[in-house]
Every structure is written in structure tokens, then in C-alpha cells.
């Protein structure tokens, strides 16, 4: 199966379990990989047949910013569900990195794989 990916999608949102995090915005970085048959779009050079990654990125950003959550795990599940429900993909891999969670690390987070 072909893949469509979005690497390094940065979104400011309210996320965190600690009280001090509930009043600020923090950056999350999303890496998304979606199974999708790219042949029809590639053969016909037609965006209507492609998985429009700009639309995926826009909807993910809107979801992430729509309401605060405490856990990156919750955010990953919500993003995976959105993609599987709103786009014709049978499988999605969602990696969520919280770059500022651990001062001595470049980032921490989770990666999940979900199927329709």
C-alpha cells in the first residue's frame, strides 16, 4: 500500500496534566502516515483523486486547537479517529511529540497505529 505523510506539523494548543499547563499554549508536533492508493491520482494528475494533505493538516490543526486535553495519548487517539472517519484511508500512524515536556530531551511523546 502506498503512503501519504505529513511530517513535522506544528500546532499550538492547550495540553497538559499539570495546573500550570492549563493556562498556556504549547507546541505539539505531529507526524502522520496514511495508507492510500496513490495510483489513480498519479496516473491522471488529478488532485480530486488524491489524499489532499493540505486538507488533512487543516482538519487536524482545527481538532487539536478545539479543546484542551491533558495527555498526548488522548490527542493521538483523537487525531487517528478524525483521519479514519473523514478520509478514505484504511490505516493511519500518528506520532505526537511534545518538545518542551522534558527539558533535557528534544521531545517526548507517543506513536499509535489505528485501522478502520
CATH assignment of the domain containing 42: 3.30.1130.10
Phi/psi region, residue 100 (left: phi>0; alpha: psi -120 to 50; beta: rest), is alpha
Question: What is the tens place of the pLDDT at every residue in 61-72?
Answer: 999 999 999 999
Strand partners, 15: 69
Dihedral Cα 55, 57, 60, 66, nearest 10 deg: -90
Q: Is 98 labeled as catalytic in the residue annotation? A: yes
Residue 85 lies in domain: 3-115
Catalytic one of 22, 27, 91, 98: 98
Count: domains in the chain: 1
What is the tens place of the pLDDT at every residue in 4-46?
999 999 999 999 999 999 999 999 999 999 999 999 999 999 9
pTM for the full model? 0.96
For residues 32 and 92, the answer to whether their CB atoms sit within 8 Å is yes
Amino acid at each position: 500500500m502506498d503512503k501519504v505523510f505529513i511530517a513535522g506539523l506544528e500546532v499550538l494548543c492547550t495540553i497538559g496534566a499539570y495546573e500550570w499547563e492549563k493556562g498556556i499554549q504549547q507546541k505539539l508536533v505531529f507526524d502522520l502516515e496514511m495508507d492510500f492508493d496513490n495510483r489513480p491520482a498519479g496516473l491522471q494528475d488529478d488532485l480530486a483523486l488524491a489524499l489532499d494533505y493540505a486538507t488533512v493538516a487543516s482538519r487536524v490543526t482545527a481538532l487539536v486547537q478545539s479543546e484542551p486535553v491533558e495527555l498526548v495519548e488522548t490527542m493521538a487517539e483523537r487525531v487517528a479517529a478524525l483521519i479514519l472517519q473523514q478520509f478514505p484511508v484504511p490505516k493511519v500512524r500518528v506520532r505526537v511529540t511534545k518538545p518542551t515536556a522534558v527539558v533535557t530531551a528534544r521531545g517526548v511523546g507517543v506513536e499509535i497505529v489505528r485501522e478502520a
